[in-house]
């Protein structure tokens, strides 16, 4: 067991270096490396594009234990055995104190590899954060039953679970069961520099969507709601959709078919603060979420956020916030979008107070609480 003062050796395991999980791990790595700990990352080598490569280059100086990338498929396949064996050899050589798995595949890697290391008398703590993922499965379906039973089985190979919001913990308890290991809720947090307001560009549009281009995140709902908002407002509006993903071509066709090509544009993924300059309002129309970073980033940058009532979003905006829409309901989303246009004081009245928001969702607070939990489990 490491002494309370000794720096820890921490390795984060996850599959896809895209979106919220990657952001979460980068923040933890940067904060913990800055506090004198040694951090490494293991993730998939076949996911991500130029934007993600730039993010890897930014985080590399904080990875004293290195960056390990190898093919890890999204679905369960025979190749998982090879990925496990290769990961085990790499991780064993690094002698970590903490293995933290994020998402379903990351959880498998961290808990199985950590358990094998424990059998070989290594002192390593095994953590797992679901980050939504398998929590989107329903127990009524055959696939859901299989996945959720596997989640329960794997608990026995871990030491602790970390949930990013109360909603995620409640969903886990409802679908999998009350944790049989230690568990703790630690909110996602963002960096100090992200709490600086972003100035609007001269050609800012009315609404902005930023995120993965897949149906779970609701770009199709956004496009439908945009058309309805124009009708409610009685005038033509403008919007931008920023991101990459498997359904991009379908959304591009949807924009053309709706006759929106001159008012709604698709742009590739870019740094979020660069994107925030393009509109005063960010719309998050997801059908399901855990705790999306885009909500935190947008609020910190001084943007109004209109979002679906899903996941941990009500824990950020407030359970009764007028900015929350019925998930998947374009008409309800459009109603709120139109209100935000017509009421000059809407943002100030509806968005959470800045000081209270910052005290709960800071990366420093997140990293401190996570480190305390690592120490507790190792002790």
CA trace torsion 315, 318, 322, 324 (10° rounding): 0
H-assigned helices in the chain: 19-34, 50-59, 79-94, 103-119, 142-155, 166-175, 219-233, 248-257, 272-276, 293-300, 313-317, 330-342, 346-350, 354-360, 363-378
Could you give all domains of the chain from N- to C-terminal order, each with its CATH number? 9-189+362-378 (3.40.50.2000), 193-360 (3.40.50.2000)
Q: Are 15 and 106 in contact (CB under 8 A)?
A: yes
Strand order in the sheet with 264-267: 264-267, 239-242, 207-210, 281-284, 304-308, 324-325
Tell me what pLDDT residue 134 has. 75
- DSSP one-letter code for 12: E
- pLDDT score for 116: 95
Q: Look at residue 92 in the predicted model and tell me its pLDDT.
A: 94
A 10 A CB-CB count for 214 gives 18
Where does residue 163 rank: exposed (0-12), middle (13-18), buried (19+ CB within 10 A)? buried
Q: For the chain (length 379 residues), average pLDDT per consecutive 10? A: 79 90 94 97 89 92 96 76 89 96 92 93 93 77 86 93 94 93 96 95 97 94 98 98 94 98 95 96 94 95 97 96 98 98 94 94 96 96
Q: What are phi and psi of 196, to 5 degrees?
A: -85, 130
β-strand 264-267 against 239-242: which pairing, if any? parallel
* Helix/strand/coil percentages in the chain, nearest 5: 50, 15, 35
Q: Are strands 207-210 and 239-242 parallel, antiparallel or unpaired?
A: parallel
- What global pTM score does this model have? 0.86
pLDDT value, residue 284: 98
> Reduced to 3 states, what is the DSSP secondary structure of residue 10?
strand
What pLDDT, on a 0 to 100 scale, did the predictor assign at position 51? 81
Distance between terminal CA atoms of the chain? Answer: 7
At residue 113, the pLDDT reads: 95
Alpha carbons within 13 angstroms on the beta-carbon side of residue 138 total: 3
Give the Cα separation of 248 and 254 in Å (integer). 10
Residue 118 CA neighbour count, 13 Å, CB half? 16
């Amino acid at each position: 067991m490491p002494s309370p003062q000794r720096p820890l050796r921490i390795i984060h395991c996850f599959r896809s270096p895209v979106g919220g999980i990657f952001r979460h791990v980068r923040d933890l790595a940067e904060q913990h490396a800055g506090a004198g700990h040694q951090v490494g990352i293991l993730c998939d080598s076949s996911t991500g594009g130029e934007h993600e490569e730039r993010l890897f280059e930014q985080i590399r100086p904080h990875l004293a234990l290195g960056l390990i990338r190898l093919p890890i498929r999204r679905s369960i396949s025979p190749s998982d055995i090879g990925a496990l064996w290769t990961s085990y050899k790499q991780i064993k050589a690094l002698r970590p104190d903490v293995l933290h798995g994020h998402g379903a595949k990351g959880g498998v890697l961290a808990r199985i590899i950590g358990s094998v290391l424990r059998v070989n008398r290594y002192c390593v703590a095994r953590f797992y954060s679901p980050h939504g993922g398998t929590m989107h499965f329903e127990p009524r379906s055959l696939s859901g039953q299989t996945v959720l039973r596997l989640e329960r089985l794997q608990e026995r190979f871990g030491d602790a679970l970390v949930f990013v919001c109360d909603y995620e913990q409640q969903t886990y308890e409802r679908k999998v069961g009350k944790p049989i290991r230690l568990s703790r809720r630690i909110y996602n947090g963002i960096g100090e520099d992200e709490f600086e307001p972003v100035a609007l560009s001269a050609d800012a549009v009315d609404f902005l969507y930023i995120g993965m281009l897949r149906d779970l995140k609701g770009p199709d709902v956004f496009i439908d709601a945009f058309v309805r908002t124009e009708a409610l407002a009685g005038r033509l509006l403008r919007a931008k959709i920023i991101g990459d993903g498997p359904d991009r071509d379908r959304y591009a066709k949807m924009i053309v078919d709706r006759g929106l090509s001159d008012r709604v544009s698709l742009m590739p993924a870019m740094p979020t603060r660069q994107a925030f300059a393009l509109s005063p309002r960010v719309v998050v129309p997801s059908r399901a979420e855990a705790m999306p970073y885009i909500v935190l980033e947008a609020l910190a940058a001084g943007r109004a956020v209109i979002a679906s009532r899903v996941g941990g979003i009500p824990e950020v905006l407030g359970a009764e916030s007028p900015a929350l829409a019925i998930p998947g309901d374009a008409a309800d989303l459009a109603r709120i979008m139109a209100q935000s246009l017509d009421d000059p004081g809407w943002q100030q009245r509806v968005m959470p107070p800045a000081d209270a928001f910052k005290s709960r969702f800071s990366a420093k607070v997140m990293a401190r609480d996570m480190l305390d939990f690592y120490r507790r489990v190792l002790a």
